[in-house]
Amino acid sequence: MLKIGDKEFSSRLLSGTGKFRDKNDIKKMLEKSGSQIITIALRRVNLENPQDNVLNYIPKHITLLPNTSGARNADEAVRIANIAREAGCGDFIKIEVIHDAKYLMPDNEETIKATKILAKDGFTVLPYIMPDIVTCKKLEDAGASVVMPLGSPIGSNAGLQTKSILEMIIENSNIPVIVDAGIGLPSQAANAMEIGADAVLINTAIATSSNPALAGEAFSLAVRAGRIAYLSKLQKQSQYANASSPLTGFLNL
């Protein structure tokens, strides 16, 4: 079971609500993927053209993970988190502090600051970060419930470009490690789980596929396979062959 804060989850696939062409697909995707946690964003209502509240499309048993996207510093992230909690979204909060529009890289320093404040205030904090061991330790000390290092830039589908650092983080972390952002293929999600990630968060790859429910199912199977592979402790890669059949008793003439 994946334990985050005081909740336990059987699914290790976290999903997102961004970029769906048809919001009715969100529910179908949740059903097929088994994902139990989903991200949402807060925005000002567009008063000329009010949008549909995405909460209307998420079944009640799903754990909401509001993100602080749009926040450019810790204070803004804290404010968004408080609004989300007051609005009845629960205690989970994904801290996302970004002011780099090109690569959407998170600001680790401001994220640590926001984590300290929000964890103390009773939130279950899931900070989205640039993979860095020192940051992860500081977040742990600050009361983060998990760390969410990126695999590659948000929405890039570029996979685990930060793999060697992710491996170091996984080896040293005392709290769950969830690889967030950049995973574009089920094989990449499986790879993240094989190296010992506790979970992955996939939004773009699922939401922008032509069949989000089917894509969600594919990612769900990959996450399970990767997790089981990790638990089975597969052997390391070798430069040389290693015979699978006995090397004695050949039927030589």
Partner 1 sequence: MIKIKLNNKDKDIEENSSISALIELLELNPHSIVTEVNLNIIQKDKREDYILNDGDKVEIITFLGGG
CB of 200 to partner 1, least distance (A): 12
Closer of 11 and 230 to partner 1 (Cβ): 11
Q: What are the CA-CA distances from residue 107 to residues 104, 152, 158, 227 (Å)?
A: 9, 15, 20, 30
Closer of 6 and 52 to partner 1 (Cβ): 52
Least Cα distance to 146 among 10, 14, 245 occurs for 14
122 CB burial (10 A radius; 0-12, 13-18, 19+): exposed
Using rule CB under 8 A, residue 219 touches partner 1: no
Residue 7 among the catalytic residues: no
Residues 148 and 94 sit within 8 Å (Cβ to Cβ) = yes
101: how many CB neighbours lie within 10 A of its CB?
7
Using rule CB under 8 A, residue 216 touches partner 1: no
Closer of 18 and 196 to partner 1 (Cβ): 18
Using rule CB under 8 A, residue 56 touches partner 1: yes
CB of 28 to partner 1, least distance (A): 15
CB of 134 to partner 1, least distance (A): 26
Using rule CB under 8 A, residue 60 touches partner 1: no
For 114, the token pair is 């926001």
Using rule CB under 8 A, residue 204 touches partner 1: yes
Amino acid at 129: I
Residue 105 CB contacts under 8 Å (≥ 6 apart), including other chains = 98, 130, 150, 153
Residues 92 and 4 sit within 8 Å (Cβ to Cβ) = yes
Residue 208 DSSP class: T
CB of 39 to partner 1, least distance (A): 5
Amino acid at 206: I
CB of 216 to partner 1, least distance (A): 14
User: How far is it, in rounded angstroms, from Cα 37 to Cα 201?
Assistant: 9
Using rule CB under 8 A, residue 5 touches partner 1: no
Answer for which of 12, 13, 20, 142 binds partner 1 (CB under 8 A) is 20
Closer of 67 and 115 to partner 1 (Cβ): 67
Residue range at the interface with partner 1 (CB under 8 A); choices 63-71, 170-178, 191-199, 212-220: 63-71
Q: Restricting to residues 93-152, name those near partner 1 by CB under 8 A.
A: none
User: How far is it, in rounded angstroms, from Cα 130 to Cα 128?
Assistant: 7
Using rule CB under 8 A, residue 231 touches partner 1: no
Q: Which residues bind to partner 1, rule: CB under 8 A? A: 16-20, 23, 26, 39-45, 47, 50-56, 66-67, 69, 79, 82-83, 86-87, 89, 154-155, 181, 201, 203-204, 207
Which residues are part of the catalytic machinery?
Answer: 94
